[in-house]
Amino acid sequence: MCRALAYLGQPVVLDHLLFQPDSALVKQSYMPQMLSLLNLAGFGFKAWDRDSFDADRPYSYASTSLPIYDRNLKALSEKIRATCVLAHVRGVHFSTEGIISQQNIHPFQFPGCRIALAHNGDLERMREMKPVLLEYIRPEFARMIDGTTDSEWIYALLLSHLEDPGRYASAGEIALALEKTLAVIRKVRGQLGIAGWSPVNLFITTGKQLAAARYCFDFGCYRTDDPRLVPQASFNYHSLWYTSGSEYGHHDGEWKMIGGADHADSIMIASEPLTRDISTWLEVPEYSMIYADTRSGRPTVEIHYLD
């Protein structure tokens, strides 16, 4: 499975998220702390800088190379300071059926749409689901699907349930669109008789808003005809954590977020904590969506429980 992080707040050098911390995202590609699988199928990020030219359009990077050996990524990460970041290291099951390609690298963001999305999880029997899901995806978004991942189809579904994906949506609108997306997937799974473990942890951002969902269909339900088909990662609910404060960086010899939630102007959401000290991190509840918005000057964090 994959690892992802989202950041919103004061400008941060990408290197301080991707390479430098104790459990930086790039390190999680080969040495994750809360996952037994490696994430070797590519890396991508979207990064927004409010002081850059055309600030609503993010810096974008995607590569199928292993990020720890990616000199271009390292050079860019040491230069770019961003106020919002969505980054993802992709993992696939160790199988010849996995497709590693540029089109399958997260995050996904269709032209003209504010929202970008990354996914940590795996929808079982997705090939069977795709023809049925087309009924629920608006044609303009169905035409934009370029890769083979379940993640891009989830993204197209989410956009299809937003009234206008080209503008900033409210927390309630994003939560409602997410609930409708999950409801469609649940309905299609029921129609096809799919009742196996399928995690759907989602990271969503517009550059000024963050949302992340911690969700799993049929957790604890596995195929019994062949135990080898049960992935090792499925025995634990997929992790999702967040921390907020007034300054993230290297303090007193270690990486951490300082300042406390009462004075927070920055928030980070990640598949697992980036820092050695996890005392300032909180676990996102299962079957919920966390939402953060800094358009009022400091993040307001909300938890929405999902059906």
| Whether the predicted pLDDT of 296 surpasses 70 | no
Predicted TM-score of the model (pTM) = 0.94
Average pLDDT over residues 56-77: 96
pLDDT at 229: 60
| Whether the predicted pLDDT of 186 surpasses 90 | yes
Residue 235's pLDDT band (cuts 50, 70, 90): low
Task: Classify 13 as helix, strand or coil.
Answer: strand
**pLDDT tens for residues 253-269?**
899 898 877 778 899 99
Crossing angle for the helix pair 171-192 and 126-133, to the nearest 10 degrees: 110
Query: Considering Cα of 78, then 79, then 83, then 87, what sign does the dihedral take?
Result: negative
Name every residue whose Cβ is closer than 8 Å to that of residue 296 and which is 6 or more positions away in sequence: none
Name every residue whose Cβ is closer than 8 Å to that of residue 168 and which is 6 or more positions away in sequence: 114, 206, 208, 209, 295
Q: Specify the higher pLDDT residue, 154 or 280.
A: 154
**pLDDT tens for residues 118-148?**
999 999 899 999 999 999 999 999 999 999 9
pLDDT at 231: 63
- From CA 295, how far away is CA 186, in angstroms rounded? 33
Q: Which residues pair with 204 in a beta bridge?
A: 117, 211
Average pLDDT over residues 67-72: 96
| Whether the predicted pLDDT of 84 surpasses 90 | yes
Residue 298's pLDDT band (cuts 50, 70, 90): low
Q: What percent of the chain has pLDDT over 90?
A: 71
Q: Specify the higher pLDDT residue, 96 or 70.
A: 70
Segment (H or E) for 152: helix 150-160
Query: Considering Cα of 289, then 290, then 294, then 296, what sign does the dihedral take?
Result: positive
pLDDT at 166: 94
pLDDT at 60: 98
Closest by Cα among 178, 208, 167, 154 to 7 = 208
Segment (H or E) for 59: strand 59-63
Residue ranges of domains in the chain, CATH in brackets: 3-305 (3.60.20.10)
How far lies 285's CA from each of 101, 216, 238, 243, 306, in Å? Answer: 33, 12, 11, 14, 10
Task: Classify 246 as helix, strand or coil.
Answer: coil
pLDDT at 287: 94
**pLDDT tens for residues 43-52?**
999 999 988 9
| Whether the predicted pLDDT of 249 surpasses 70 | yes
- For the chain, the average pLDDT equals 91
State CA 78 to chain mean position distance.
Answer: 22
Residue 39's pLDDT band (cuts 50, 70, 90): confident
State CA 214 to chain mean position distance.
Answer: 10
| Whether the predicted pLDDT of 224 surpasses 90 | no
Residue 26's pLDDT band (cuts 50, 70, 90): very high
Residue 100's pLDDT band (cuts 50, 70, 90): confident
| Least confident window among 196-200, 257-261, 286-290 | 257-261
Task: Classify 150 as helix, strand or coil.
Answer: helix
Closest by Cα among 254, 246, 236 to 298 = 246
- From CA 237, how far away is CA 7, in angstroms rounded? 23
